[in-house]
Structure 1
Amino acid sequence: MDRELSLEFVRVTEAAAIACGRLMGKGDKIAADQAAVDAMRTMFDSVNISGTVVIGEGEMDEAPMLYIGETVGAGGMAVDIAVDPLEGTNLVAKGMPGAIAVLAVAPQGGLLHAPDMYMDKIAVGPKAAGKIHIDAPVKENLKAVASALSRKVEDLTVVILDRDRHSRLIKDVRDAGARIKLITDGDVSPVINVGIEGSGIHMLVGSGGAPEGVIAAAALKCLGGDMQGRLLPSDDCEIARAKKMGIGDINKVLTIDDLVHGEDAIFAATAITQGDMLNPVHYFGGGVRTHSIVMRYKSGTVRFVDAIHKLDRKSMIFKRT
């Protein structure tokens, strides 16, 4: 993919963040999500790609736009697109930190077509790549990560979604001596943090959405980190859905290269609410300021984009409605 596309994809996530950021704290997660979807879909029309949404807002009969299988773009290279126009709908509705607009793009066939179900996940940064396994006891994985980072287990911070299903996992991590950061929603942002040295986050573990797992894997692959996953279908219907989407072995341990194939991928995200490394959307008279991150696997480049947008010179998708 042309490197110039990186900034074009940032423009897409910026549009989604600007559109839904005005609804922060207003208690309406559905309206916030719809604003992000509408803006992201519109902005895709200006990007010179022939994109197919492989991870999006649902099937055609579930979502009017950015549905799985929808084609987007102004024409150009054939690519797969994974989107989450608003990762953290509850976070925006409640005005809480950690919400982002995010996408991942790879050449056609480059992204796993992950069904909408849970996935067990473990993610670490570059220095611990190749040192973990999803089937190993969490205590052993923590020891391996600590050794790779030349730290004690007590110095590690692990991110886990605060869910009842993780009660045993949380106990095991605490018993091993590591620190825990519990999050209420949105496990893509923490995976980015895992991959960036100095963020203070050293591992993410636990189950979350499989589509989000693919998007997070794209970010971590660009950063040189490591991730493994395994689908967790809840019934026969979900197993059938996974097989229909091309996943033959439902129990397979999915490596980062299974989740994101090949030697090229681009990841972009724009903060909506305050993040650990990204500042939230700020509105001011006549304009808005955004803070984004964009990564390209082929070059290894990671850019932070701090942008000021003059709304009187922008298209209507940026303006108050």
Structure 2
Amino acid sequence: MTKRPRGEGLTQSFEHALVLPTARVTEEAALAASRFMGLGDKNAVDGAGTEAMREVLNTLDIRGTVVIGEGEMDEAPMLYIGEQVGSGQYEVDIAVDPVEGTVVTAKGLPNGLAVIALSERGGLMHAPDCYMEKLIVPPPAAGRVNLDWPVEANLHVLAQALDRDVEDLMITILDRERHEGLIQRVRAAGARVKLIGDGDVVAGLAVGVRGTGVHALMGSGGAPEGVLSAAACKCLGAEIQGRFIAEDDAMRERFAAMGVDEHRIYKTADLAPGEQMVFSATGITYGELLSGVRRFAGGARTHTLVMGYATRVVRFLDSVHLEDDSARVTIRV
């Protein structure tokens, strides 16, 4: 009996129909947010990106529900958790971060980007808005590390999986006071540390994409971003392990209401269980993985990473957007 390839049939039709339209969602969000890049107003950056993303989502052939969004309905005027978008045929759950890195984008710093993931109903975990302890490793180390192990043990296994020495590893960690001990232990073990100010979704992407020179992400960051990272990891074959952090009794009560276990290690398949998955990210400001929006007279250029889980294709799209017909004569290939 011939084994059916992963994603044959309905799964592929879902991804074939939505991969490129999903890229347009993040492209338009990035273009809108980039108009406020460097002006110092993070609310303007976020508002522009969110509104543009919402407008394009409503044009897609989907009936979507936002499960990871800008906050609860009373806190967010658009793309709030539970919001319905689109009126098409594909029923999807949606995780969005219209501008990951509102502060860095407002300041004109690297690694601002627009991010979205789509899956079938129930394919993305509705995570509480809290911190999450995270470990993200590339495909060769998937299934070989453990969030409960000492840092040194995970570094040793990671080095073995990548066929290199611990001293060759580069570990990304958010530059936060809470990570001082973790940073010291990683360095004491012999590995190098890349500190970032914001943007652990793009940092997780860099772990999963070959050739970036980054080999793991460690430390704690936002749980909603953890779900977006899980969608990316699933498409790339990388692995995320995460544990939700309850900082007070009120959050523990929220965990109980949502069925979240603060002691459990949630893996990629727990955070993004869907068999149909589309992920897209477009750079707003310059980054090592994605270039930012580059404007010219009459248009702009964007750089996007878009991929599907079943179709097993990772695309980098370098696109020119003509906003003025007069710009056509200025373009050279």
Instruction: Quickly name the TM-score band, shorter chain normalised.
Output: over 0.9
Distance 1:15 1:124 in 2: 30
Is 1:176 equivalent to 2:189 in the alignment?
A: yes
Aligned-pair CA distance for 1:25: 1.1
**Is 1:106 equivalent to 2:126 in the alignment?**
no
Q: Is the 8 A contact 1:78 1:108 kept in 2?
A: yes
State the shift of 1:4 in Å: 2.4
1:240 aligns with 2:253: yes
1: CA distance between counterparts of 2:60 and 2:269? 26
1-structure distance, mates of 2:94, 2:225? 13
- 2:277–2:309: 8 Å Cα contact kept in structure 1? yes
The one-letter code of the counterpart of 2:35 is: R
Structure 1 residue 279 corresponds to structure 2 residue 264: no
Superposed CA RMSD in Å reads 1.0
How far off is 1:219 after superposition?
A: 0.5
Residues 15 and 278, structure 2, Cα contact 8 Å, conserved in 1: no
CA change 1:246–1:311 in 2 (3 A) is: farther
2:205 & 2:306 partners in 1: Cα distance? Answer: 11
> For the residues of structure 2 that align with 1:241 and 1:289, how far apart are their CA atoms?
43
Hey, which bits of structure 1, 4+ residues long, moved more than 3 A?
A: none
**1:142 aligned to 2:155?**
yes
The TM-score with structure 1 as length reference comes to 0.95
Q: Give CA-to-partner distance per residue, 1:43-77, whole Å, 9 cap, x none.
A: 11110011000000000000011000000113211
Give per-residue Cα distances to partners, 1:195-228, cap 9 Å, x unaligned: 1111100000000000000001110110001110
Give 2:263's aligned residue: 251
Contact 1:265/1:297, CA 8 A, preserved across alignment = yes
Q: Tell me the distance in 2 between the aligned counterparts of 1:242 and 1:272.
A: 34
Whether contact under 8 Å (2:15, 2:311) holds in the other structure is no
Corresponding residue of 1:41: 54
Aligned-partner SS, 1:273: coil
Matches within 5 A, 1:168-207: 168-207=181-220
User: Does residue 292 of the first structure (1) align with residue 273 of the second (2)?
Assistant: no
Query: 2:135 aligned with 1:116, yes or no?
Result: no
Deviation at 1:242, TM superposition (A): 2.5
How many residue pairs get aligned? The number is 312
Who is 1:93 aligned against? 106
Q: Summarize deviations over 1:222-253 as a string: whole Å, max 9, x none.
A: 00011100000111111222333332x22111
* Identity level (%): 54
The equivalent of 1:14 in structure 2 is 27
The one of 208, 219, 228 aligned to 1:215: 228
- In the alignment, structure 1 residue 69 sits paired with structure 2 residue 92: no
Q: Deviations over 1:97-133 (max 9, x none)?
A: 0111000111000111101100000000001111110
Q: Does 1:58 align with 2:71?
A: yes
* Paired residue type of 2:231: A
Instruction: Name 1:317's counterpart in structure 2.
Output: none
AA in 2 matched with 1:61: D
* Letter matched to residue 57 of structure 2: F
Contact 1:114 1:242 in 2 (8 A): no
Residues 57 and 63 in structure 1, CA contact (< 8 A), matched pair in contact too: yes
Rg (Cα) greater in structure:
2
Quote the Cα distance in structure 1 between the aligned partners of 2:80 and 2:249: 23
TM-score, scaled relative to structure 2? 0.92
User: Does the Cα contact within 8 Å between 1:281 and 1:289 map onto a contact in 2?
Assistant: yes
> Conserved in 2, the CA contact under 8 Å of 1:128 and 1:148?
yes
